Chains A and B, each alone.
Chain A
Amino acid sequence: MITLESVRKSYRTRNGARRVLDDVSFEFESGRNIALLGGNGSGKSTLLRMIAGMEDPDAGKVTRRARISFPIGFSGSFHPQISGRDNVRFVARVYGCDVNAVIRFVRDFSEIGRHFDQPMVSYANSMRARVAYALCMAIDFDCYLVDEVTAVGDSNFKRKCLEVFAERRKKATVIMVSSATTTVKKFCEDGALLQQGRIHDLGSLSNAIAAYEAKQGESIV
């Protein structure tokens, strides 16, 4: 579904370049819900953005053969000067969806009422997050990308998020990056470790968690 071929990527930090992927080849298979575990600064988010196509690798190739989502809850592509409705309409058009159906879904799901027709600059953070979450769920992606966030809002809204996400997951694949081992268990059966520029595929998620926690323990000692 998604193939990484000899991908290299580093990003700049205050302490110089940090290598995220060092000549990595990896195949994300359709139907295989996989969690990539890695500590802070291991480049999980960069890796996910590269899978999404929001960033190019420094070298190598990423091939996508399915409709891949942007990371769930990502609201960075909203234009602040236009309304939630117009932002949603734009994204729906970009992905070639039934624009009215998407707008209806987001309006009803996000529960932001008349704010939906106000410029997004006036939104509270939680409103933006709800619109962004709903938008990602309104589009029929083959693969949903998750960067830690699986639900937004208060506890009621979070429950709603998880319900709809579970529904989407039946027909789609989930690729998740996380540093917390608790949330990934709900969505993924398989796991891998992102470590020092490599992806170590450990098969089952429980293996990956065990290895990850062992590693975390090491670094604390």
Chain B
Amino acid sequence: MTESPVLVQARVVWALTLRETQSRFGDTRLGYVWALIEPVAHVTILSILYKLLQRNVPVGTLETFFITGIMPFFLFNHTASRLSRSLSANLMLLRLPPVTAIDVMIARGILQGLTWIVVFLILLTGLTLMGRGLWPAHPEICALAALTTFFLGCGVGMINAVLSALFKSWDRIYTALTRPLYLLSGIFYIVDHLPEQARRVLAWNPMVHAIEWFRTGFFRNFTSLTLDPQYLITWAVASVFLGLCMERVFRSRITAR
């Protein structure tokens, strides 16, 4: 009576996803609310700041411009950090024979991705109700950009999860290294408007492409000279591939803790 491995894995991932839903959002209830509060706070603060400075955004309304910067950024950042900690937070589950590290990461990824979609839709609906709404001009481009960004987050998160299992301080080092990303990803400005020198440097940052790509899909009249979707896709594929390889190579050391 052997069960197909695919069926077993699907069942494990499903069980883990339900578990994650409960343990992330069940304990405090704040988890779900926080997922919504955080982007709202960022968008509100940036909008107020721009109003006070009497500055204009290059495209769309104040709120939608910031939302289309913040949300792809959070998609990457939160997915990466949720996956980074997925193994250390679930070590006991990994001791159950059918549960693998990959299952745990897939479950967290699914939950994170779904949460992001819900939050994004709530934000746009909220704005629409306030009479300031704007909906994606090309939803399919937004979806593709978001999906690629999501996979980049998954890949980086997987790499981080393995590295933190090997080196205790990795989590802190990564956080410190990527802190400037918020400023360097074009969340509240457009990279094309920067001096050529700066633009060239920032074009190396995959998150710049994630945000520009997302905005290209969202705003009807937005084009970007910097955007190279293939560059982002390469990053996403490479990071997922590297993450999977690292998990395989260091599997015994991950679970032996």
Contact = CB atoms under 8 A, between A and B. Distances in A.
A93 interface: yes
A5 interface: no
Contacts of A91: 96
B127 interface: no
Given A66-B1, A66-B2, A76-B92, A90 B97 contact: no
Interface of B: 1-3, 7-8, 11-12, 14-15, 18-19, 22-23, 27, 92-93, 95-99, 251-252, 255-256
Contacts of B14: 93
A35 B223 CA distance: 71
Interface in A151-202: none
A78 B11 contact: no
23 contacts: A52-B97, A53-B98, A54-B255, A68-B97, A70-B95, A70-B96, A70-B97, A74-B95, A76-B92, A77-B92, A77-B93, A78-B92, A80-B92, A81-B27, A82-B23, A90-B18, A90-B19, A91-B96, A93-B15, A94-B15, A94-B98, A95-B11, A96-B7
Interface in A16-64: 52-56, 64
**Chain A binding surface, main DSSP class:** loop
B15 A142 contact: no
Nearest to A140: B1
A77 B23 contact: no
B52 to A, nearest CB: 44
B99 A94 contact: yes
B97 A53 contact: yes
Interface in A61-110: 64-68, 70, 74, 76-82, 86, 90-91, 93-96
Interface of A: 52-56, 64-68, 70, 74, 76-82, 86, 90-91, 93-96, 142
Contact of B12 (A52, A68, A94): A94
Contacts of A79: 23, 92-93
B1 A67 contact: yes
A54 B12 CA distance: 15
A142 B2 CA distance: 10
Contacts of A67: 1, 3
Given A56-B251, A90-B15, A77 B96 contact: yes
A194 to B, nearest CB: 20
Given A66-B2, A77-B95, A77-B96, A86 B22 contact: yes
Nearest to B252: A56
A79 B95 CA distance: 11
Given A56-B251, A67-B3, A93-B18, A81 B23 contact: yes
Contacts of B252: 55-56
Contacts of B23: 79, 81-82
A111 B252 CA distance: 37
B97 A54 contact: yes
Contact of B11 (A52, A55, A94): A94
A72 to B, nearest CB: 13
B11 A96 contact: yes
Given A55-B252, A56-B251, A67-B3, A94 B92 contact: no
Contact of A76 (B19, B95, B98): B95
Contacts of B2: 64-66
